[in-house]
Structure 1
Amino acid sequence: MRTTRATLAGLAVGAALALTACGTTTTSSANSSASGASIVVAQVTEPDTIPDPVVDGSLAGYNYYYNVFDRLVMLDADGALQPQLATGWESNEDFTRWTFTVRDDVTFHDGSALTAADVAFTYQQILESPESQLLEYMQVLESVSASEDGSAVVFDLNAPFSPWPSITTAVSIVPQAVYEDLGSEAFAESPVGSGPFSFVSRTRGVEYVVERYDDYWGGAPEVERITFQTVADEDARLNGVLSGSIDVALVSPSQVAGVEGDSAIDLESLISNGVTFLGVNTQAGALQDPLVRKAIVHAIDRESIVENVLAGSGSATSQIVAESVTGFAPSVGVAEYDPDLARSLLTEAGYAGEPIAFEYATDGRIPLSTEVAQAIQGFLQDVGINVTMTGMDQASLSGRIYGTMDMKGLFLNTWAPSTMDGDMPATNMFAGGANDYTKSAETATLVATQRTVSGEERVAVFAELAALNIDQGLLIPLYSPQTVYAIDPALGWTPRVDGLYAFADTSVE
């Protein structure tokens, strides 16, 4: 392994130098092993809030939590549900009560036994924490309790909800006694989980360090220590893997051509669980007319954006649910690129060139966002749609999309459900959620319906929702981006479709 103790020592020096510029929190583990493989993982960012899994729901935070904590149900690398703390689960006939049998051989890192009461406490704590970002997952949860014999946890919901098992993949279980004793902030500084790795230290803005938990119920990992290093700059991430100071890093698709064939790294890519889309404020100006919105649907050449802007690193789509996510409907194809049809629809609508605002972020969540926005502008102008472009930083755009909800017309956005289920994006965008600019009772009804059925019946409802959206242009999906990783060739790590870093099963040469 090229990442050695010497490398980590160098990183520690860098971290020490950084202490003059940022606050730090460090808690040493008493069980640090003197031998074993250590790896460094470059994270683009760290959680905006304290890294408490009861409060924080960020992708950056989940990269820590998937290694330090367990959940009732886990997602494998392909996004499929697998048992973890739960050995099995079942629901009543209308999906309003779910019962999960809990393993009886699990210990937390402090040696205490994990019980169904800890599971129930964790969910109850989320319900009682107004600042928790996980509350959005809990809207249907009425109550949670451990069974009388302590073998199971029971969830009672306030409405039918067939995808409830997917929600449990987002909740990391904490020990009730420790969490109640420490409180949220102190627990974040010295977390105790039951996962394959235990917490060592955290330096804000620099790194988060964990080490192998030898008594892990699923078997001790091969990797001994992981340093999650915050590296925002994409060139620094790639150069780190090339030099051997970093073992795993997310890289931009535009960087791939320059390093293909380099023996110092392996490149792994997969289509992500997210969808980049054109949001539409259906109450704004000309966008109130469904004919204008439908014209936009057919004016954009999604395949051209993927091939010419993203260099082939993506997959065109007209569904808000990515292909790897439950709810994707194979029967619904990509909306046809037909500029003549778009012009005809605009004529029928009586569109006379009224300006339509188009807002986008110039940095942040969407790679090559400015280039994508400019390509869309070109396609719309080609059919006669007058768009006025406004670029801004990601924080400002996100604050307006989800906070003030005052988008002026069109906006470029993306969504990737960490639960790998289509309910969350569907609810948020079509049924009164935080990103619902559609104001459509018809789509809200379909979203409610998919919660009452399962299997192919549920996929059929998602297909109906996708077809309705294409016809009315309520929201315009564009593509699922390709995620590319640079990896040390000695590391046997499999990228996950949900974009998380999990190392329980990682091998090292």
Structure 2
Amino acid sequence: MKKVILSSTLLSILALSACGFDDPDNGNTSETNEEANGYELITIANPADITTFDPHNNSVITTSAVLVNLYSKLVQRDESGEIVPDLATEWTPIDETTWEFVLRDDVTFHNGDAFTANDVAFSLERVANDTSLQQHSTFNQIETVEVVDEYTVRITTAEPDPQLLNRLSVPAASILPKDYFEEVGAESFFQSPVGTGPFQYESWQQDEAVELSKYADYFEGEPNWERVRFSVVPEDSTRVSELLTNGVDIAFNIPTADMDRIDNNEGTHVALEPIQRVIQLWLSNEEGEPTSDPAVREAIDLAIENQVIIDEILNGSATATRTHITPGNVGADESLYDTYEYDPDRAIELLEEAGYDDGVTINLSVNNYYTEMAEVVGGMLSDVGITANIELIEQSQFANRLFNQELDEAIFVGWGNDMFDGSVLEFFKDGGVAPYTNPDIDELLEEAAYNMNEAERTEQYQEVQQLLAEDRGAVYLFQLQGRYGVNDRLDYTPRLDELYDVNDIELTE
């Protein structure tokens, strides 16, 4: 069994704990938007509650989507995915392992403390050095954060790091107030968190809502919205009902079956945008597993008709792919995108040629959010002689079992790419969380990790993708589109990274 190393993609487990689950005892919002006028209140319905206010110790996208409104980072991504300034105004590479960042001098934390270079050093060194934090592996290549002066820092990494700016743009790079944090301690701090973002903490009623209010002294100018409410509404039907009756302004992850209903309702519409999440089936090649046979892995791939799932379950809101690295990300191989291989007759032949005259049985671990998709895949596999014993796992348990290597030889996952880079494939390195390993892939990923030449890195990642496609270490199904129900009063376009930048959401009138 592989030893697990938590890779820099931990935050990207976009669908392991971030999507809805049914809970008939919860989901009623306590306040309707009929009470709000103009920019007074915006209410967003999420299928799951946040797990923490600690941005350095979080791996759940619905949590990150809230925290990005509280905290700021040195750099951030705009709505198109480009890196732009946040707390840093400019950055310059000093040498292969050192970058200098010039900071804004007009920023205050929500408690009134002035933001300085000391806060940057404290925050980044905290996540880089504390091995107990979930995002430690994203930043453990940072050796030092030198305070040059009050508004300048130099970050030095152990090796050349072509991804440093990517790392500093993710929610896990959020900056905390050093003096106040040390004064009150971590436990008290995260009970009433303080950041430099456009909105400040008001309350958290667990399993009900997180409420924020605008921070009038926000460094980019006074925020539009007076209040923000992130309501917890696990049940799909309740999220849709709340949207249709003006109880919420935005409902995340709406069922495809309700899309026409929302579009045809007066005052609401569906917003569909591509997101970074790719649905995929990881296949172990560990000796003794049925999927260790390349013929079985290839047969699994050829048995699945991707477009049927896209059309019948997702109402067309996805794009077939044979890779995780979708167009627009560094390292993308577009020859593997918007395509799939489907040949059930050849799948049957492969199994017969490999000696599986009576078929083959595999065990398939599935995040229960993907139950319907997995059952359709199971039916397709059955048609070619592969029996899939499906284990449905509640979402809150799935991630823990994944990282503890407690899942089966086949794993059905939805995984994102918050680094916008081919390095997301590092979970296939020996020691990563995926159950498949390949020494050629290990070598290429290791070389790419420190290669400052982007063209060469792109070629290395493309070669990794071709190897995975050829050997079926993963069977990729499709890149999802985010499905949001939206009140017509809002001018809202969902982001590629699935985060809510509430300060960019405006009224249509």
Structure 1 residue corresponding to 2:347, chosen from 342, 345, 352: 342
- Residue pair 1:277, 1:414 contacting (<8 A) in 2 also: yes
Shift of the alpha carbon at 1:459? 2.4
Shift of the alpha carbon at 1:321? 2.3
Shift of the alpha carbon at 1:393? 2.5
Equivalent residue, structure 2, for 1:137: 138
Compared CA separation, residues 350 and 479, structure 1 to 2 (3 A) = same
SS in 1 for 2:386: coil
SS in 2 for 1:304: helix
Equivalent residue, structure 2, for 1:25: none
Once residues 80 and 352 of structure 1 are traced to their aligned partners in structure 2, the CA distance between those partners, rounded to angstroms, is 52
In structure 1, the gaps of 5 or more residues are 1-9, 15-33
Shift of the alpha carbon at 1:99? 2.5
Shift of the alpha carbon at 1:39? 1.1
Normalising by the residue count of structure 1, what TM-score does the alignment of the two structures yield? 0.86
Matching of residue 293 in structure 1 with residue 333 in structure 2: no
Equivalent residue, structure 2, for 1:326: 330
Name which of structure 1's ranges 63-72 and 378-387 shifts more when overlaid on structure 2. Answer: 378-387
Compared CA separation, residues 296 and 363, structure 1 to 2 (3 A) = closer
Superposed CA RMSD: 2.4
Equivalent residue, structure 2, for 1:78: 80
Matching of residue 486 in structure 1 with residue 491 in structure 2: no
State the number of aligned residues: 472
Compared CA separation, residues 97 and 47, structure 1 to 2 (3 A) = same
Matching of residue 461 in structure 1 with residue 465 in structure 2: no
Structure 2 residue corresponding to 1:279, chosen from 278, 282, 287: 282
- Residue pair 1:299, 1:342 contacting (<8 A) in 2 also: yes
- Residue pair 1:361, 1:394 contacting (<8 A) in 2 also: no
- Write out the 4+ residue segments of structure 1 that deviate beyond 6 Å after TM superposition: none
Once residues 13 and 413 of structure 1 are traced to their aligned partners in structure 2, the CA distance between those partners, rounded to angstroms, is 35
Structure 2 residue corresponding to 1:267, chosen from 248, 270, 275: 270
Once residues 194 and 456 of structure 1 are traced to their aligned partners in structure 2, the CA distance between those partners, rounded to angstroms, is 36
Equivalent residue, structure 2, for 1:443: 441
Shift of the alpha carbon at 1:457? 2.9
Compared CA separation, residues 335 and 468, structure 1 to 2 (3 A) = farther
Once residues 289 and 139 of structure 1 are traced to their aligned partners in structure 2, the CA distance between those partners, rounded to angstroms, is 36
Higher RCO (C-alpha under 8 Å, 6+ residues apart)? 2
- Residue pair 2:491, 2:505 contacting (<8 A) in 1 also: yes
Shift of the alpha carbon at 1:431? 4.6
Structure 2 residue corresponding to 1:314, chosen from 296, 313, 318: 318
SS in 1 for 2:368: coil
SS in 2 for 1:68: coil
Compared CA separation, residues 345 and 167, structure 1 to 2 (3 A) = same
Q: Which one-letter code corresponds to 2:235 in the other structure?
A: D
Once residues 500 and 320 of structure 2 are traced to their aligned partners in structure 1, the CA distance between those partners, rounded to angstroms, is 25
- Residue pair 1:199, 1:211 contacting (<8 A) in 2 also: yes
Once residues 352 and 120 of structure 1 are traced to their aligned partners in structure 2, the CA distance between those partners, rounded to angstroms, is 62
SS in 2 for 1:379: helix
Shift of the alpha carbon at 1:12? 5.4
Equivalent residue, structure 2, for 1:427: 426
Shift of the alpha carbon at 1:184? 1.4
- Residue pair 1:360, 1:373 contacting (<8 A) in 2 also: no
Compared CA separation, residues 35 and 347, structure 1 to 2 (3 A) = closer
Q: Which one-letter code corresponds to 1:447 in the other structure?
A: L
- Residue pair 1:285, 1:356 contacting (<8 A) in 2 also: no
- Residue pair 2:31, 2:247 contacting (<8 A) in 1 also: no
Compared CA separation, residues 342 and 92, structure 1 to 2 (3 A) = farther
Equivalent residue, structure 1, for 2:375: 374
Matches within 5 A, 1:353-368: 353=358, 355-361=360-366, 363-364=368-369
Matches within 5 A, 1:199-214: 199-214=201-216
- Residue pair 1:102, 1:116 contacting (<8 A) in 2 also: yes
Once residues 40 and 481 of structure 1 are traced to their aligned partners in structure 2, the CA distance between those partners, rounded to angstroms, is 24
Compared CA separation, residues 125 and 464, structure 1 to 2 (3 A) = same
Q: Which one-letter code corresponds to 2:196 in the other structure?
A: S
Deviations 1:215-274 (A, max 9, x none): 211122211110111111111111111111111111122221222222221210112111
SS in 1 for 2:503: coil
Compared CA separation, residues 12 and 413, structure 1 to 2 (3 A) = closer
SS in 1 for 2:69: helix
Equivalent residue, structure 2, for 1:29: none
Deviations 1:196-217 (A, max 9, x none): 1122222222211111122211
- Residue pair 1:70, 1:84 contacting (<8 A) in 2 also: yes
Deviations 1:392-437 (A, max 9, x none): 323444333221x1433212111113333332x311234522x221
- Residue pair 1:291, 1:472 contacting (<8 A) in 2 also: no
SS in 2 for 1:187: helix
Once residues 131 and 237 of structure 1 are traced to their aligned partners in structure 2, the CA distance between those partners, rounded to angstroms, is 35
Q: Which one-letter code corresponds to 2:118 in the other structure?
A: A
Once residues 442 and 367 of structure 2 are traced to their aligned partners in structure 1, the CA distance between those partners, rounded to angstroms, is 32
- Residue pair 1:359, 1:389 contacting (<8 A) in 2 also: yes
- Residue pair 2:277, 2:415 contacting (<8 A) in 1 also: yes
Once residues 241 and 54 of structure 1 are traced to their aligned partners in structure 2, the CA distance between those partners, rounded to angstroms, is 32
Name which of structure 1's ranges 495-504 and 372-381 shifts more when overlaid on structure 2. Answer: 372-381
SS in 2 for 1:386: strand
In structure 2, the gaps of 5 or more residues are 1-27
Shift of the alpha carbon at 1:193? 1.0
Deviations 1:77-116 (A, max 9, x none): 222211111222233554x323222222222122222112
Once residues 58 and 321 of structure 2 are traced to their aligned partners in structure 1, the CA distance between those partners, rounded to angstroms, is 30
Once residues 13 and 261 of structure 1 are traced to their aligned partners in structure 2, the CA distance between those partners, rounded to angstroms, is 25
Compared CA separation, residues 179 and 35, structure 1 to 2 (3 A) = farther
Once residues 161 and 343 of structure 1 are traced to their aligned partners in structure 2, the CA distance between those partners, rounded to angstroms, is 46
Deviations 1:445-482 (A, max 9, x none): 12122221443332222221111101101111111122
- Residue pair 1:420, 1:498 contacting (<8 A) in 2 also: no
